[in-house]
Amino acid sequence: MAASIKVMNKKSFAKQLLFIRRISTTRNLHKGAVIGVYEPKEKGGEIILNKTSSRLNEESNGKLLNILKVAGKELKKGGCRVLYDTIPSYSSVAVCSLGKQGVGFNEAEGFDEAAENVRAAVAAGVRSLRDIGENQIDVDPCGNIEAAAEGGHLALYVYDELKSEDKRKKPVKLSCLGTDSSKQITWNRGVIKAEGQNWARSLMEMPSNFLTPRLFAEAVKNRLNNIQTVKVNVRDKTWIENEKMESFLAVSQGSAEPPVFLHLIYKHPDATIERPLALVGKGVTFDTGGISIKPSSNMDQMRADMGGAACVVGALYAISRLNMPVNVEAFIPLCENMPGGRAIKPGDVVRARNGKTIQIDNTDAEGRLILADALNYAETVKPHLILDMATLTGAIDVALGAGATGVFSTSTHYWSLLEQAGSRTGDRVRRMPLFNHYTKQITKCQLADVNNIGGSRSAGACTAAAFLKEFVTCKNWMHLDIAGVMSNKSEVPYLGEGMAGRPTRTVVEFVEAVGKEKQ
C-alpha cells in the first residue's frame, strides 16, 4: 500500500541515524528482520509497503516509512537498506526492494519474475544483517514463503569449514516472520530444497583430497543413513569388475584411488508410479584430463567435476526429506581421472557393459565413459524414466553460459515438465537437439562401434549427448549437461560466488511433478 509521509530534511535525518547507531550498539538484542517493499509506481513517487512492512510501520508509529522517505529514495530491485532502532522488537531491519508490484511469469526470461525478485531481495537482506552481527533473523514471506526461505538459506551458504574458526562466518538462524503453523510447512519446503542444493555446493567445493571416491560415498552414507526411506549401497571395484563396467574402470585405472559405485534407493508406499525414476550422476572427484591433460590454469576447479553426482544426492536428500510419494533410485560412478602409468591412452579401445566397443581418442572426454556403464546399469531396474546430470562439456558453457542447463531429451512431455519446474525455481533449463546428424559423427569410428569424441569440435555438447544415447534404451531419457552452471560469479544474486549446486532444486521440483501424474 502507498502512504504519504512527513518530509524529513537530510541534515536532521543524518543526526537521527547517528544517534540510532549509538543506541543500537549498546543493546544486545542481536535479532534482525528482513522486510520487503515495492518500487514506486512512477519516478519520484512513494515506496509501496507490502503487507508485512505495512504492519511493522504501524508498530513503529510511522517511523519506518518516515525514515524510508530519505533512506529508501534510491532503493532499486534486489537492493536493501539497513535501519536501526526503528521497530521496537528488532535491533535492526533490512528493508529490501522487491522491484515492481504485480509482476508474474516473464515469458521472455522463462521464469516467475516475482519469485526471483523475492529470492534476490531476501538474499540481500540476510547477508546485510549477518555482516553487522545479527545471529537471529526473521524473514518477511514477501508474498512467496517458499521463495523467501530458499533465497535466505541459499544466500547464507559459505564453504569455510577448512578455515580457522575465527575466519568463519558466524551461524545465523532464519525464521519466517508472522506466519501461522500451516504456512510454516511451506517455509520448511523452501528450507529443505535450499539444504539439498547447499549440500551439493559443499560437495563440489570440497578439495579432492578431502573427497576421494571412498570419502564421497562415506559422506553420502553419513548424511542419508538416518533417513529411513533411503537405502545406501556402496559397491567396490570387485563388484564393478563383475558387472563388466570396463568403460568405467578404464577411466579409473590411472589413479591410485579405487573406483566406487553408489546405488541409492528411495521408496515411498504411496508412489503413484511403481517403477522407479532413475537419477544418474557423473562422479569424477578430480579430472586432470588424463593423458590428454588439461592446462594447469584453473585446473583446481575440476574438484567439482563430480557436480552431477553432488546434485543427484542433493536432490535425493530433498526428495526424501519432503517425503514425496515417488520411487527414486540413484546411480553414481565415482572415480578420479589421472595420468598415471596405467592410465588409458588415446586410441585405446574398451568394451562397455552393454557390449559396445568404444574408441577413446581423447581421455579428457571421460565423463561419458563412466556414464555409459552407469546408464546401462540403471536400465536393470526397469525405470519409468532416466535423468542424468554431468559437468560434461565446455561446449555447453560456450552455448548457454550460466543462463541455463542444457537438456537433451527423448520425451517432449517430460521435457515440458522439466522446463516448467525450472520456471518455478528460477533455475532454468534449455532444450538442445538430439539429431541423428550427431549420432553419425560418433558412430563413424575407425576401430570400434563408437568414438568418445565427434569428428570435429563443432557441437561438442550435442555429440556427447549422442554418445550417451547409444547406451540408453529407456524411452524416457533426459541428459542434463551442467558444465555451464557449475559455478557462480554474479549471475545468480542469491547464490554468491563459488560452486552453484545447480540445478538441484529444479530436479526436485520435476520429480515432484512426475510423481503427481496419474498412471
Contact status, residue 199 vs residue 314, Cβ threshold 8 Å: yes
Residue 32's DSSP bridge partners are 92, 137
Distance CA 337, CA 367 (A): 9
Nearest to 327 by CA among 279, 418, 265: 265
Helix (H, G, I), strand (E, B) or coil at 17: helix
**Residues carrying an active site annotation:** 294, 368
Distances (CA, A) of 378 to 242, 245, 246, 268, 386: 16, 12, 16, 19, 8
DSSP 148-214: HHHHHHHHH----TTS-GGGSPPP-EEEETT--HHHHHHHHHHHHHHHHHHHHHHHHHS-TTT--HH
Place of cell 525405470: 383
Place of cell 560452486: 499
DSSP 404-460: -EEEEES-HHHHHHHHHHHHHHS--EEEE---HHHHHHHH--SSSSEESS-SSSTTH
Contact status, residue 430 vs residue 399, Cβ threshold 8 Å: no
Place of cell 545406501: 232
Distances (CA, A) of 170 to 88, 204, 306: 25, 22, 28
Distances (CA, A) of 239 to 156, 244, 249, 442: 41, 9, 11, 29
Place of cell 549471475: 491
Q: How far apart are the first and last CA of the chain?
A: 46
Nearest to 469 by CA among 349, 375, 377: 375
Contact status, residue 500 vs residue 475, Cβ threshold 8 Å: no
Nearest to 157 by CA among 133, 126, 179, 121: 126
Distances (CA, A) of 109 to 216, 384, 418, 428: 36, 31, 16, 9
